[in-house]
Structure 1
């Protein structure tokens, strides 16, 4: 893709999300979603092949259906309340329609089927945008309409997403599918706390985006797409083996690392609101996610897989991929735990 075209497309993707974030009118919010959806299709097909076309088609059909449901909810709300304002109180029917539409856009269970398939068919750089930037706009709308949402519907979708994100990633060897199921599980954690403390959902989103960006950049640095190719990184870039170990454990939410902060605070918030069974389910299901992160860690850093002799000297050659943001992302993805008291005052 030529640089001017790529610049225009990326500008449109960013403009669509920013329009959703800054709008207080339902029509401009919908237009922002449409701009974002149509602009990301060429990014998904950056490396043109039948698999990428299939992934882009699945993404388009799902997102178009979600946009149609969102517009139906907006028009129903206009007929019932006579208001276009996003912050106005929604009718229960409208609220359920919009929640389902936004769940489809986010890839929450039971509307999660497109997420692993689309992520698997596109390049790592496109997958990074899909699983990070594309989550911001729908979650911002959920944040705004959270007082009007059905708590039972949200909790059902959250618990199903956490279970699917845990079970779905267990038998995967493709890194992009593992990160897709990880995204579904993290979205479930965010949705579970939205009813009680929407601002805490923003903290979880911020830390999730930092960890996912760091993970994708490490995979792009090694050009790794499967567990087998990841297991050979000790030959090519020895330092990245320890970095992948640390960031995977942080994604799993182990205590000394940044990934523990949102899980700790969300479980604390749920127990304060007498959601003990939900908190227990989420804590136990987090072990499933931790299992497949540990499996990647084991394959990367805790074993030395056999390799061909011509790979032994690859570490001596300079890597031409420029990952300027990788060092700060690794630091923020692993070392934020001492700042938890300060974060708790804001969130």
Structure 2
């Protein structure tokens, strides 16, 4: 039920914090389903979700993005930051080449193993709802720029920010963990 609420609630959000809150509700639904079948899988899901959310929130903090309209300015400021924001959001959505896919894949596999195919189907369909608002956010933050009457704006500089040494590590975890998933879950 919480995956449906999280997916539907996040669809029409313009504030990134509210969208991330509904994402947390949806991910909590995945953890609730998995905790009865495989508690170690729930711990893996929680650990990976913390890394994914932390990297996304750190990028939002560094770019001072609070709404989708602010997210439009990430790409003109720093294309590299925008691409990492795109990849971390897609990983949160659970696209297959990224790390966020592995917990959902393993939970669906566990549900099918226990012959809970209708529940697995519902979980997979509600994951598409969450993926929809992540795709919308990535499209807005990387592919669109806000309309302006002047041909060039000097918005490509950030204010000096404190050093965040944990961001590269969190980005590595959130993007490249899928190939070593079979070694971690046995």
TM-score normalised by the chain length of structure 2: 0.94
Kindly provide the CA deviation profile for residues 233-255 of structure 1, in whole angstroms up to 9, marking residues without a partner as x: 12222221111111111000000
- 1:120-167 deviation per Cα after TM superposition (whole angstroms, max 9, x unaligned): xxxxxxxxxxxxxxxxxxxxxxxxxxxxxxxxxxxxxxxx10100000
Shift in CA distance, 312/328, structure 1 to aligned 2, threshold 3 Å: farther
Given candidates 91, 96, 106, the residue that maps to 1:255 is 96
- Report Cα offsets for 1:301-334 as digits up to 9, x if no partner: 1223334759833435663232221111111101
Matched residues in 2 for 1:319 and 1:309: separation? 26
Q: Is 1:329 aligned with 2:170?
A: yes
Q: Secondary structure at the match of 2:161?
A: coil
1:296: which partner in 2? Answer: 137
* Other structure's SS at 2:185 match: helix
Distance 1:185 1:233 in 2: 26
Counterpart mapping for 1:57-76 below 5 A: none
SS in structure 1 of the partner of residue 98 of structure 2? coil
Alpha-carbon deviation of 1:336?
Answer: 0.5
CA separation of 1:279/1:234 partners in 2, compared to 1, >3 Å: closer, same or farther? same
What is aligned with 1:278? 119
Look up the match of 2:84. 243
Structure 1 portions without partners, runs of 5+: 1-159
CA distance in 2, matches of 1:251, 1:162: 14
In structure 2, the partner of 1:191 is: 32
Q: Structure 2 unaligned segments of length 5 or more: list them.
A: none
Greater relative contact order structure (CA < 8 Å, 6+ sep)? 2
Mark the structure with the bigger radius of gyration: 1
